[in-house]
Amino acid sequence: MTLTLLLDLDDTLLNTNLEAFIPAYFQALAKDLAPHIAPEIMFRALIAGTSLMNESEDFSQTLEDVFASVFYPQLNVSKGKLDAAIDHFYDNVFPTLENLTSKKPQAKPFVDWAFSQGYRIAIATDPLLPRKATYHRLRWAGFDPEQFELVSTFDHFHFSKTHPAYYAEVLGRMGWPDGPVLMVGNDMDRDIIPAQKLGLSTYHIDEESASQRGPEAGVRGNLQTLRLWLESTNLSTLTPSFKSKDSVLAVLLSTPAALRGLTRRLDPLDWSIKSAPEDWALIQLICHLRDTEREIHHVQIKLFDQQGEPFMPRPDTSVWDSQRDYLHEDGATALCEFVQARKETIELIRNIPPEKWGQKARHAIFGPTNFLEVTGFMADHDRLHIQQAWRLLHQAS
């Protein structure tokens, strides 16, 4: 049974006193860009941009887009004007901050062991920094960034770690792996609680504590005790459940983000590649998601505004592909249309009062149900098709 391991970076794999590191980082950036921008203006823009990234749940924009939307206007410069200066900073100045960090002696042995077990490993670090900065920090910790299946950075992720949707986006980008998943990190508010809200098992890195169970932290200890714990644990008990309101919303929010991340470098021809003649191409899958969103999900959610127990219709979607000639649509356009349709879905769901989440209904396929379960079916449908998309893209690469 393959374990999917999500590893935090700072103070999990790399000793980093963030209360000292972040001010030093901001000061270094402001100093290096001082010939272009006054430091006091730079500080305000950095803080505003970072705050907006932490708040954002807009799956149509990467965190880099969100940051840029407030950062550059506050500097009163166009986005591209500072590119050369910013690249110079991350290539030449940011590496000098390494002395504010130190390697964790247990980190590389643990990761090497985890790879030897066949675990899939993602670096689930808060995607608030550019790729260059995160890759530098991974190297400071003693790792090659390319050895990991996924490393989250702000140029291709859409949520910060304050949101359960971040963890859903990570798993979506990994093809929603079946089986056990474990999130490992040191920060209760950004690593442990949001991951648990999605439905994941967690391991709280707490250097001052022996491995033990706590009411919220779950299992805790250091990387050495984590290995011992994994060796003695039935990994099947770490298989997540995505049935709560928080987890369903997180999955629904993450799906457009995961699809945007998976397809961001696609050649136009890649949208129509099939793994077998009878299988769907990616463009057919995206069109199916878009039309299901518009013609089924929206209808079902609106039915819960009625009195009594509404009937949830489920039209036969198998004929849509041939009737609507999905294979000849434009992939990027269809994805944008799905993203817009999902925005409408999220708005409809958020307008449902809390007491309606238990409202009963009857589903055309599944029989007696309620609103939470119906939205859960939507999330399950998302995960199924993300798995298909991931397999298609990896077979084509």
Arithmetic mean of pLDDT, 368-397: 93
The answer to the question of residue 258 being in a domain is no
Structure tokens at 81: 């004007």
Asked if 297 and 174 sit in the same domain, the reply is no
219 pLDDT tier (thresholds 50, 70, 90): confident
CA terminus-to-terminus distance, the chain:
25
- How many whole angstroms separate alpha carbon 59 and alpha carbon 258? 9
- What gap in Å lies between CA 273 and CA 265, rounded to an integer? 15
**Domain end among 65, 99, 133:** 99
Looking at the domain assignment, is residue 81 inside a domain? yes
CA distance 173 to 16: 27
State the residue range of the domain holding 132. Answer: 4-10+105-238
Let me know whether 27 and 139 are in one domain.
no
Task: Examine the domain organization and report whether 270 and 364 are in the same domain.
Answer: yes
Q: State mean pLDDT over 382-395.
A: 94
State whether 88 and 124 are in the same domain.
no
pLDDT of residue 156: 97
With tokens 């099939």, the residue in question is 274
Domains identified in the chain, total number: 3
Among the candidates 74, 99, 124, a domain finishes at 99
Q: What is the largest CA-CA distance in the chain?
A: 67
Q: Give CA–CA dist 153/151, Å, rounded.
A: 6
CB 9 within 8 Å of CB 125:
yes
In sequence order, the 6+-apart residues with CB closer than 8 A to the CB of 180 are 1, 2, 3, 4, 201, 235, 236, 237, 238, 239, 240
Task: Give the pLDDT score at 151.
Answer: 98
pTM of the predicted structure, to 2 decimals: 0.95
- Percentage of the chain lying above the pLDDT 70 cut: 96
379: CATH: 1.20.120.450
Q: What is the pLDDT of residues 269-281, one digit of tens each?
A: 889 988 888 889 9
The amino acid occupying position 28 is A
H helices of the chain, in order, are 18-32, 39-55, 63-75, 83-88, 107-116, 131-140, 164-173, 193-198, 223-232, 245-263, 282-292, 298-303, 320-324, 331-350, 371-396
CA separation for the pair 102, 247 (Å, rounded): 35
pLDDT digits (tens, 9 = 90+) for 37-94: 999 999 999 999 999 999 999 999 999 999 999 999 999 998 889 999 999 999 999 9
pLDDT of residue 306: 77
What b/e sequence results for 279-296 when a residue is b if at least 16 CB atoms lie within 10 Å of its CB, and e otherwise? ebbbbbbbbbbbbbbbeb
The CATH number of residue 170's host domain is 3.40.50.1000
Distance between CA 298 and CA 101 in Å, rounded? Answer: 49
Q: Looking at residue 218, what is its pLDDT? A: 67
Asked whether residue 332 is domain-assigned, the answer is: yes
Q: Over the chain, what is the mean pLDDT?
A: 93
- For 120-137, write each residue's pLDDT tens digit: 999 999 999 999 999 999
Q: Is 367 helix (H, G, I), strand (E, B) or coil?
A: strand
Residue 248 forms part of a structural domain: no
Structure tokens at 170: 């990570």
pLDDT value at position 215? 44
Compute the chain's Rg from CA coordinates: 22
Element containing residue 182 per DSSP (H, E): strand 181-185
Instruction: Name residue 212's amino acid.
Output: Q
